[in-house]
Homo-oligomer: A and B are copies of this chain.
Amino acid sequence: MGKRKNSLTGLITLLTDFGYSDTYVAQMKGVILCINPEARIVDITHSVAPGDVISASFLLGGAYKYFPAGSIHLTVVDPGVGTERKGIIVRTRDYYFVGPNNGVFTFPLLHEEVNKVVNIDIKRFSSVSRTFHGRDVFAPVAAGLSIGRTPEEYGNELDPAQLVKLDEDRPVKTRDRIYGKIIHVDNFGNLITNISEREISGSGLKVRVRGRTITGLSRTYMDVKSGELLAIINSFHLLEIAANGRSAQKILRAKRGDEVVVFIKR
């Protein structure tokens, strides 16, 4: 991290599929605070569907960069816990990422240059359960990094080429169309697509989703009549299908993976 001093922030973010009704998240926080009583811990979310690595990666990809340089992003969506899947530390210029090597860091690493990857050696930890490396391995690693330990203290370097990556699943472009899809449905029922602003900006366009066609881009959610569908560039700089004061998801009965086609006027 060059002159940036990681230990100055002591900020650890947490993203898991543990939900809010169990104590798994609290156990991790307790472990962190035993190692670094000054750690600041911020929840990103714990509502990822169990084992949904793709969703976790998308969510992390949209949030990680709003945190201060030096932050440690601890991500535990880990259906392979206890198997031969590796645990890793990924160091980029501004951040550490700590978690299983199962592709969960794919989205953030699209935008970050990887400086170093370390394969966490769990033999260096005492009393590691086979079902909860979040508590027994990853939390201690994140807490250790937050007090200035180096990644190398936790294992040997791993060739970055061995980072597991999810299929990027980018939209397909033809001369006058873009074939994308819904990659996330948010709390408002907004349908977030994998089509980015720069692929469509400035164009007059139509958007087709679930048999419905939307004409033009709105600038705000209230640009259309109450209850009506609209297309908008959202705060992720992605094309989003929404509705004024309603859930686009409910109107369209849409779900993640549904196709979205943009017709570009030329």
Contacts and interface: CB of A to CB of B under 8 A. Distances in A.
Nearest to A28: B66
Contact of A31 (B17, B21, B66, B130): B66
The binding surface of chain A is classed by DSSP as: loop
A250 B24 CA distance: 21
Interface in A187-221: 187-189, 219-221
A45 B41 CA distance: 16
Interface residues of A, number: 64
A131 B217 CA distance: 13
Nearest to A55: B21
A26 B47 contact: no
Interface string A37-52: 1001111111110110
Contacts of A80: 220, 222
A13 B222 CA distance: 27
Interface string A57-90: 0011011001110010000000111110000000
Contacts of A169: none
A44 B26 contact: yes
A245 B20 contact: no
Contacts of A37: 9, 11, 40, 68
Contact of A135 (B11, B46, B66, B233): B66
A16 to B, nearest CB: 10
Given A19-B187, A30-B68, A37-B68, 20 more contacts: A13-B30, A20-B20, A20-B45, A21-B47, A22-B187, A23-B45, A23-B62, A27-B62, A27-B66, A27-B235, A30-B63, A30-B71, A31-B66, A41-B42, A79-B222, A129-B234, A129-B235, A130-B220, A130-B233, A131-B235
Task: Please provide the 3 A-B residue pairs with the shortest distance between their CB atoms, ordered closest to farther.
Answer: A82-B220, A30-B66, A19-B187
